[in-house]
A and B are shown apart, each in its own frame.
Chain A
Amino acid sequence: MHCDDAARALYAGENPSDLELHLSACDECRHLSDDLAQMNSAFALARVKWVPSPSFRVALPIAPWRRLAIAASLLVIPLAGWAAASVWSTRPNYDVASVLEPRATAEQTDRELLGALFLGEGQE
């Protein structure tokens, strides 16, 4: 076997029958074989050792419809709060019943009753 053929076989990872014989007689090709074996060990190590850290996570982007839903809910919450606050602030701070039917709630004194009956007070 010629050195070129041996080198070609070694680089291609092939093992023809006469390669061993050639390597036993050729220092140059044996060095090449040893180096490639070491390189292969390094590749095997890389396969095992090159892994992402345990904290590695792929954060996928949020789908457009979900983004819309989040935006909508972010809008709805303050709007609802504003609506509730405005309803609260427009509530009267007096008793509505006393305005609508003041007579129904306030007890008339005798003087008022007499005045209404005989003197016509409180009728205008």
Chain B
Amino acid sequence: MTEPELIRRSKGGSREAFGQLVSRYQVPVYRVVRGILGSPSESEDVAQEVFLKAYANLAKFRGESGFFTWLYRIAVNEALRARKRRAFANADDLPEVEAPPPPPAEEDAPTLATLEKLLRKLSDEFRSIVVLRDIEGMSYSDIAETLEIPIGTVESRLFRARQELRMLWRKSKEAKNAL
């Protein structure tokens, strides 16, 4: 079944059709949330919230933008909201939530752990754009639609975000080499 047909049926109340949309997008939505949020288990909860929100607001989706950019917009907003909630909770009384240490058996775990650690140091704006472009591989125009910013802003923001990430990457490498 085509995506517009699935959307049409979902709007008509078909849970099965929406279930197929979920199956189609659950991995990329999870990845976007994970990239922004960091924590694997929390990311599943937020990804769940993203789909529930999409289901509840499906009637508002008019098809003027792509379904996936609409869904990614919800994912980015929900992940940033969850991050703020967490920061607020941590500021109150809980210790800072750190990602669990990478399992030593996996060869590529340190690289991924470094990436997660460095992404957390970026601002919300920079992290979102890096995740959408460099992890999800979205086009500039799709990112512009998702984040509701002009393409020129996407380009300049991405440039600055990569610059900052690279600077952090270099520092991290130098710190490792110094050990």
Instruction: Point out residues on A near B: beta carbons under 8 Å.
Output: 8, 11-12, 31-32, 35-36, 38-43, 45-47, 49-53, 56, 58-61, 63
- Contact between chains at A49 and B30 (CB < 8 Å): no
Residue numbers of B with Cβ under 8 A of A are 13, 15, 18-19, 22, 26-27, 30-31, 34-35, 40, 43-44, 47-48, 51-52, 55-56, 108, 111-112, 114-115, 134-137, 159, 162-163, 165-166, 169-170, 173
Task: Tally inter-chain residue pairs, CB-CB below 8 A.
Answer: 86
Contact call B115/A43, Cβ cutoff below 8 A: yes
- Whether A52 contacts B47 in the complex (CB less than 8 A), given A12-B159, A46-B35, A60-B15, comes out as yes
CB distance from A32 to the nearest CB of B (A): 7
B-side contacts of A42, CB under 8 Å: 111-112, 114-115
Cβ contact within 8 Å between A50 and B31: yes
Helix, strand, loop or mixed for chain B's interface?
Answer: helix
Which chain B residues lie closer than 8 Å to A43 at the CB level?
Answer: 115, 134-135
- Nearest CB of chain B from residue A70's CB, rounded to whole Å: 15
The CA-CA distance from A40 to B134 in the complex, in Å, is 7
Q: Are B166 and A50 in contact (CB under 8 A)?
A: no
- Closest beta carbon of chain A to B177's beta carbon, Å: 13
Given contact pairs A35-B173, A50-B34, A59 touches B162 in the complex (Cβ within 8 A): no
Q: How far is the CB of A120 from chain B (nearest CB, A)?
A: 83
Contact check: which of A8, A41, A58 meets B48 at CB < 8 Å?
A58
Q: Please, which residues of chain A bring their CB within 8 A of the CB of B111?
A: 38, 41-42, 45
Kindly report which residue of chain B lies nearest to residue A56, judged by CB atoms. Answer: B44
Bound CA span A119–B74, Å: 103
